[in-house]
Structure 1
Amino acid sequence: MNTDKPLLAGLVDSGACLHDASTFDLADFVENAVEGLHRVGPDGTILWANRAELHMLGYEWDEYVGRHIAEFHDDPATIDYILATLLSGGVLYDQPARLRCKDGSIKHVLIHSNGHFEEGRLRHTRCFTRDATERHERDVALAQRDAMLLNAPVATALLMGPELRFHLANRRYCELVDCADLLGRTFDEAFPRLSGSGVTGEIKRVFATGVPYHAEELALTRLDADGQPHERYFKFSLEPLAGADGRPEGVIVVAVEVTEHVRSRQAIERAHRERERLLVDLSAASQAKDEFLAMLGHELRNPLSPIVTALQLMRMRGDGAHGREGEIIQRQVDHLVRLVDDLLDVSRVTRGKIELKVERIALARVTAKAVEMASLLVEQRRHQLQVEVEPGLEWEGDPVRLAQVVSNLLTNAARYTEPGGQLWLRARRDGPDALEISVRDTGIGLAPEVREQVFELFFQGKRGIDRAEGGLGIGLALVKNIVELHGGSVQAHSAGRGLGSEFVVRLPLRSAALVLAPAEPLPAVVAAGAPQRVLLVDDNADGADTLGRLLRAHGHTVEVYYDPVSALAALERFSPTVALLDIGLPVLDGYQLAARIRARPSGQGCRLVALSGYGQAADHARSQAAGFERHLVKPVDPIDAARVVAAAPPTD
């Protein structure tokens, strides 16, 4: 593209001297300037353009010079404004315009222009054209950024410059901070109460370091409509905004209110803490309950022990204890013992500590034992009981516990059936590998909503004011637990209130995963053995005296003491071969007394037997660890006590 001749001609037209060296220097300067330059006549015709102008737009000289400037402007309104301004003597500076290039593209430019007037008339205009494409793209990008921030679905603001002035703040941000007049103000000016706070400090730090900041739950206190302080929580983000040169230009602030989320989480955490506290309280209450039941069992067993022993002595003397009155007393004592056992079983049920002693036995023997155990209540309420047991049916399990199950079902049926009612006990095979035991009655029946509740611990149906039904509300819970330990199930059926009930137990014929334990029946008569010197220590005088008389009746020499101090004082003189020690003694408990006896020469060969109202596995283990040979649970079976005393000492 050769424009030298036209440029020189233009300079001649302007009155320049061709022989003046400075004129040629000027021509060379303007022709080769990096800025686009052109001259336009008063009618808008392009009179001249330098190389930079032509190169920027892609035209040759004759394609550009001599044409009206409007042919190259994409916006007619803009060129009209430019021409009108210049004709009126105005000056243009950084006037944005869009020029059409030869290839059809649009070039964004900035125009600086003023007019050359002679005798008040516009001779031509001097125009400088600067390529502003990058600036335009940057402006578009900034505009898009601002539009995005303004339309963001969360509260957003843009702080610019080292003063951190609000360049923009969208509607959500203004609503969040309850302030609409933010633009142009610094953060400190807009929120003077936060001046010097952690928020202001973090914004300044992000601007200075370029390191973003994020807070998941930033707490801010504001006054509500009533002037009361109200704490609100925000998810707060500060992102640095850097310029093209990498230097900080501003900070983008994004805030999301999470007050409700935090309140919900705090409520859940409070509920969790409350739950943990309740669990601790429940655990403590459960432990206290177990301790109470164990203590209650102990206290009940203390008076039962001398009664049982006294009955045995009466039988041994043959003084009428086998009459009807003696039988009544024995049945009532047996009933009390079962109630105490049930109380102690409660804690075992809750902790799954019931142990089964499995053996093979005829089911008829189990049901007969259960009927015997429940017979007292059945007779008292004048019920008619029909028993049907499939002949020859054998079962493998714990016969004592199954008898307890059936007895509890019969007792429950008797309690909740009006006097003179009907009871049925049936046991039969249920398929090749199972059996079914059912107890049915004509009693008050069960409402649908309580059919499952009846197996809950301490649940009792509606009672009359006289509590004629009796019971502790633990029998059916024990039934369910014992049956499930054997791998079976129990269900309650009833057509409704007043229509009777039926409880059906289904059990496998063989109790899987259980080891058969050999039966250990106690001998009815104690075999005679070598007479023993027995030291009996128990603070329950009646219990100690009756057990002492029983052992003397079996030929033993017995000394009874009610306190450990007196027993220790007699130790050297008496030299006992067997010591029966109550664990719950005053001053020194049974464990401490046993240690004192073993520490003395006269007690080296003495066999130790523990007497206690506590009979759980832990109690037996503790006695064994303390050196006791046996642990007898009150009320002590007289025959068992006599057998233990008469037994030969264990060999090492």
Structure 2
Amino acid sequence: MRRRSNATCQKRCLLNFTLCAGPIDRSGSIKTETTLPDSGARHTVRFYDDERLLLAEVAAFLDTALAADGAGHAAGRGAGIVIATPAHLAALRRQLGAAAARVRFLDAADTLSRFMVDGWPDESLFRAVIGPVLAQAGSRGGPVHAFGEMVALLCMEGCYDAAVRLEQLWNLVAADYRFALFCAYPWTLFKDEAQARAFEQVCAEHHCAHGHTPEGRDHDLKDRGLEHVRLEQKVAALEAEMARLRESEEELRWRERELADFVENAVEGLHRVGPDGTILWANRAELQMLGYRWEEYVGRHIAEFHLDAEVIDDILGTLKSGGTLYDRPARLRCKDGSVKQVVIHSNGCFDDGRLRYTRCFTRDATERHQRDAALAQRDAMLLNAPVAAALLVGPELRFHLANRRYCELAGRTDLAGKRFGDCFPQLRGGPVEHALEQVFETGKPFCAQELRIEIRNAAGKPCERYFRFSLEALEDAQGVREGVIVVVVEVTEHVHNRQQIEHAQRERERMLAELSSANQAKDEFLAMLGHELRNPLSPIVTALQLMRMRDGHGDGQVRHVRERDIIQRQVDHLVRLVDDLLDVSRVTRGKIDLKPERIALAQVLGKAVEMASLLIEQRRHRLEVEIEDGLEWVCDPVRLAQVVSNLLTNAARYTEPGGQVQLRAHRDGASAVVISVADNGIGLAPEMRSQVFDLFFQGKRSVDRAEGGLGIGLALVKNIVALHGGTVEARSEGRGRGSEFVVRLPLGSAPAVPAAPDTDVPAVQRRVLIVDDNVDGAETLGSLLAALGHTVEVYHDPVAALAAFERLQPEVALLDIGLPVLDGYQLAARIRALPGGQACRLVALTGYGQEADRARSQAGGFERHLVKPISPGDAARVVAGG
């Protein structure tokens, strides 16, 4: 019997109290509209069993007021009032959704307590509590729908008279406020005739009284006695039950027909066999599988169709004894003479211990038989493979088989039926097990050419071995993964041979790198050596030329004092460079012999300060010296002074002009003396601290190479300190944070002869600009050119030279490449951009003379490239334009 939908029931109920329910939309909600009477309020009561139907009905009732847009009411001006239990309040909030904002929700028990006096509703208190709620709800001008459960709460407490009185109070207050009231009582409150009077009184106080039939249909209860209503409900329930029985009988007959059709037309072969082996029935699939008609198969003994007599005898014996067959293989004879491989599932039907018949399912297993044969052939091939092979099945990766070669590699023969991880616990969680799992899960093959595995040898010791692993997923005919085929080839010997070759190759590459590095260091050293030697040689050669020129004019010896001083300073510089080179050579060959003596350390350090003072003064550094009083030590004073002088020189070179250098010496306990040289210079990067003592090592320098040096001073320091049994350490917090060198000591090739001056120079006077930060070189070159009759201005600062350019308007500019602030290339570009700059001939001065250096100066706009030391004749010819 069909049951009407809840929506239909709700619609019928609502119509009975002038609420017209609209159609149900796709979301399941009910669209409603209100049709209120012309005068007075509507007071409706619902007796219910199903709370879901009630709540849906109340939600629709409230929604008609909230959505009202007719009968003089503007859309959205309606309001709702709900006085109910907490559970019903929450359910109605959910059902109303956003519209709940215009509904006043009150707890029924709490509201009831505010106007009850001695178990009886007080009229004045009721008006005081309910009146403002109704007034506020009606203030918008729209309809007001209220739902209340307070009367039901009173009945639950047995106060039926009080509930009737409360219904009367609602009717009285309706004279002052316009609203529609919907009350609800569970049927459980009116179980028998004891509540009949109260039931009739409740119905009498309402305009409409409704209930639900067992089928969910609306039932008008107005002017009906409780006993009559109950009888009607019982009759309706009985009729519904009879309808359900008729429907069930029809359903049963339909299912029997359906089952018969299912069995007859099943794709599996089915047949029934009597206790004597006679075939009693067979379905269409069974007959088609074997090719027989009904009369050719049914009524015959089953043994006539079995190829193997012992098999059918065993089958019949098992079934007669109450056994069950599952997947029992057999061979059946078809009508055309062919043989069908099948599997049989069968059990018996018994009555009082006697076999009535057997139920048999016959499945064509020809393909399965062929597959099993193919699998057997595959297994045989794997077992006889010349390489190690194994088959693991199932998600647990259990060994189905492993051939002899695989067992030999694994060192065990008891693999069958065991999980991979249990057989090889040392590989659990490792790359091999992970690869097996991935292949089984994804079906993608895996190959590892040289997988390293540590396996214990016969003596139980771990042994490193290498294998080539090939993993392939094993799938059945339907593409379902059943396992993984593993093929393993040991390549340990091959790997070891390759590793030896690779090691030899790495050694060769390392030696080549070392040779290349040494060669690069040599090239850089030679380039730096040429630069360092050419810088002092240039003013020497020029000064000597000036001396010769002045001697030729009879100026006497007095005018040569300044030039000789210059020569002396520069020669001294060359001597120190050569001494360092000789000392490095001696140290690296172990040819230095120390001449120790006891001497005051202050005296040795004073000599070191004197040796480095010229550079410190030139760079305008502030030197702080702190030496512990009375500090004596047995050492080679000359070599120790050389150590400290090199450290001071290094600090002065790598600290910007005007910096701070500190020299400290103190006793460290009773066994050592510590000498430290600290500066606030450019500092050391972390990776450089361990390299600064390497021979010829130099950090990154600026293009003007203001730091100077050959990169051998610190190497000398380290070796000389080591000869004294001490250590030296470089400390720095990083680039730009200064450096400190700490010494801890235990107590207990000659330059070429300058060519003769070339006096055959054209007598042309030029305006000449010289820019070189080597003061001596620039000054002597300027003096030489001035002596030749040229107008010369010398600048050591490129910025000042640019400022004087427009005033001087030089015809020739000799520019040093390694200038501070702006190098020679940048200065040349600036000059070209000045007025008259295009007419000025640019000549590069540099200590570098390789082809790449000459090409770069030419690309930078220089007309000539002069390598220091500059021949006076070359300088004169270049300026004159020769």
Q: Same fold (TM over 0.5)?
A: no
Q: TM-score range by the shorter chain?
A: 0.3 to 0.5
Structure having greater relative contact order (Cα 8 Å, sep ≥ 6): 1
Normalised by the size of structure 2, how large is the TM-score? 0.31
Normalised by the size of structure 1, how large is the TM-score? 0.40
